Amino acid sequence: MASTSKESYRVELRAAARQLGDRCLYSAAKWAAELLVGIEPDAAAPSQPDTPSSSGAGPGGRLLHLHRSGGSSFRRRMRPGGGSEAGTPLGGVSYVSTPIPDDDAFDAGADKYLLAKTYFDCREYRRAAHVLRGHVGRKAVFLRCYALYMAGEKRKDEETIELEGSLGKSNVVNQELVALERELSTYRRTGAIDSFGLYLYGIVLRDKGCEGLARTVLVESVNSYPWNWCAWLEIQSLCTTSDILNNLNLKNHWMKDFFIASAHLELKMHEEALKRYERLMGVFRCSDYIQAQIATVQYSMRELDDADMIFEELLRTDPFRVDSMDIYSNLLYAKESLTALSFLAHRVFLTDKYRPESCCIIANYYSLKGQHEKSVLYFQRALKLNRKYLSAWTLMGHEYVELKNTPAAIDAYRRAVDINPRDYRAWYGLGQIYEMMGMPFYALYYFRKSSHLQPNDARLWIAMAQCYESDPLQMIEEAIKCYERAANSNDTEGIALHQLAKLHSMLGQSEEAAFYYKKDVERMEVEERQGQNFVEALLFLAKHCKSIGRYEEAEHYCTRLLDYTGPEKETAKSMLQGIKREQSGFPSMDIDHFAL
């Protein structure tokens, strides 16, 4: 059962990779082929040499050394979930089997098609289209149109460079769009179009700005031919909200799982995405793609160590990989591991330095080095290569902040937000800038936006709380609410608890303050972090307990304070004496007090 289903996946993917490659849809073909190799080998087959579980002794040992938490490498941890249900259809739902379409029979134009494809492979698009003029086979029509589209895209890119510098006229358009749309829409009306044609029609429509229609057409395309990953990606880019995603009329093919998972990741529904990917791992055990996606999810969930491990593993098996390596570099940046980042930057530089990802990685490296001008330069290069490269805009904004160039930073962030309004980091950046400029009230709008998009991120709540707390605003109650949110959503730095305690004590609510100070002390004890905050908390607790008559607790805190040097020690000493006095010397006072 298990092997047959796996075998059927293989058959489908094999055919798909061939067909897609035949139509010059390279990246989709690449994706399919990668996935094909990623299917777990059958039990009967001899074990692959590169499965990590079998080679744990080598690099796995290094991982062990690096990460104290991991007793096993990540792949082994994945296994129990996937292994048992590898045979059953994913997620327990039955899939609609989509017949693999036969390719057009080799007709008279087959030779011409071959020629056109070779031209296309050599990036001589117009020539390819020219060869196929007059051919009516669906395959030939598709390749001709696709070649025209690519020619237009190429020209567009060139023009963007050529015309650079004239303000306000940067919106060069693909000149072929109009003709292509006209032709493809006629084909669609008459039904003389296959799913590849629909895919092309979809992207033409998207480029023209008809997003709704584009979505419908693309959905049609993937419903009839689900193995074209590029089509799925286009749909994903058109699904900006989860409502749109849920309203798509998609056939239940196993490719849909990949799509949904990826879309969830994009829409920041991390848990769902992770779950789906882990299920998919059951079949596609060795897929690098899924590994990279899981790592991305984990990075977004700020599980940096786990993600780091996966990325390292990926690079080990596939050293010339550039895809998703920008995320890895972000991760390394967050972990501040300079050496690893420089290593990565060098590697991608040697592999392909003119990829936006590469530029982004190098920029990250410079940023971590503190050379922000150079970093900006590389981000600019990345953006030149891909103007819609969202994270580069945001990161460039960060760099401008470092350079104290606030208008430029605002502009960069704004562009990021306009490209994707769900980019919480850019909103956060905007808020930060305005806060820096002494406009906390104005900044609140941005922080509110970002925390709305990422409600479980303590940093955003803390930023907002700090705004409320700032001198000009002094809206303590609102600040407390924000800190509470932050404390409830895994605040790793522990700012929230301390601030909560402080604010409550400022407002004279000593019960609450004591509650939070106690929690804070517990947290610091667990993390073995002892600093000024710790002393402060102890001091407050001691005073508080003393004032409400819980002398034993007060004594406990005071004795702990004695371990520290500084004025607090003296205070603790005198307090201890005071407690002793009150406990032994004048017990009647209390009674009197109560009698009154």
Residues that bind another protein (CB under 8 A): 158-159, 162-171, 178, 376, 380, 383-384, 387, 396, 400, 405-415, 418, 430, 437-442, 445-446, 472-474
The residue (of 120 and 427) whose beta carbon lies closer to another protein is: 427
Minimum CB distance to another protein, residue 242 (Å): 19
Classify residue 90 by its DSSP letter: G
CA distance 336 to 329: 10
CA distance 443 to 439: 6
CA distance 471 to 474: 6
Minimum CB distance to another protein, residue 408 (Å): 4
H helix runs in 472-509, sequence order: 476-488, 495-506
Classify residue 581 by its DSSP letter: I
The residue (of 409 and 458) whose beta carbon lies closer to another protein is: 409
The residue (of 206 and 256) whose beta carbon lies closer to another protein is: 206
Minimum CB distance to another protein, residue 362 (Å): 17
Residue 313 · residue 291 · CB < 8 Å: yes
The residue (of 120 and 468) whose beta carbon lies closer to another protein is: 468
Element spanning 106, H or E = none
What token pair was written down for 518? 């106690």
Minimum CB distance to another protein, residue 149 (Å): 17
Residue 331 · residue 350 · CB < 8 Å: no
CA distance 174 to 176: 6
CA dist 593 → 496, 549, 589 (Å): 38, 12, 6
The residue (of 79 and 414) whose beta carbon lies closer to another protein is: 414
Please calculate the CA angle 550-556-558 and round it to the nearest 5 degrees. Answer: 100
CA distance 517 to 540: 8
Minimum CB distance to another protein, residue 182 (Å): 9
The residue (of 299 and 468) whose beta carbon lies closer to another protein is: 468
Minimum CB distance to another protein, residue 392 (Å): 11
Minimum CB distance to another protein, residue 445 (Å): 6
The residue (of 16 and 145) whose beta carbon lies closer to another protein is: 145
Element spanning 100, H or E = none
The residue (of 162 and 552) whose beta carbon lies closer to another protein is: 162
- How many C-alpha atoms does 118 have within 13 Å on its Cβ side? 5
Residue 579 · residue 546 · CB < 8 Å: yes
Neighbour-count burial of 556, counting CB atoms closer than 10 A to its CB (0-12 exposed, 13-18 middle, 19+ buried): middle
In the block, residue with structure tokens 């003119």: 354
Minimum CB distance to another protein, residue 307 (Å): 31
H helix runs in 269-324, sequence order: 270-280, 288-300, 304-317
Minimum CB distance to another protein, residue 475 (Å): 8
The residue (of 254 and 413) whose beta carbon lies closer to another protein is: 413
Please calculate the CA angle 205-210-215 and round it to the nearest 5 degrees. Answer: 75
Q: What are phi and psi of 105, to 5 degrees?
A: -60, 150
Minimum CB distance to another protein, residue 57 (Å): 50
The residue (of 282 and 429) whose beta carbon lies closer to another protein is: 429
Residue 478 · residue 468 · CB < 8 Å: yes
Please calculate the CA angle 347-348-354 and round it to the nearest 5 degrees. Answer: 145
Minimum CB distance to another protein, residue 441 (Å): 5
The residue (of 227 and 446) whose beta carbon lies closer to another protein is: 446
Name the residue among 286, 290, 236, 285 with its Cα closest to residue 264.
236
Minimum CB distance to another protein, residue 422 (Å): 14
The residue (of 412 and 465) whose beta carbon lies closer to another protein is: 412
At 292, is the secondary structure helix, strand, or coil? helix
The residue (of 3 and 420) whose beta carbon lies closer to another protein is: 420
Q: Which residues contact 335 (CB under 8 A, 6 or more apart)?
A: 304, 308
Minimum CB distance to another protein, residue 208 (Å): 10
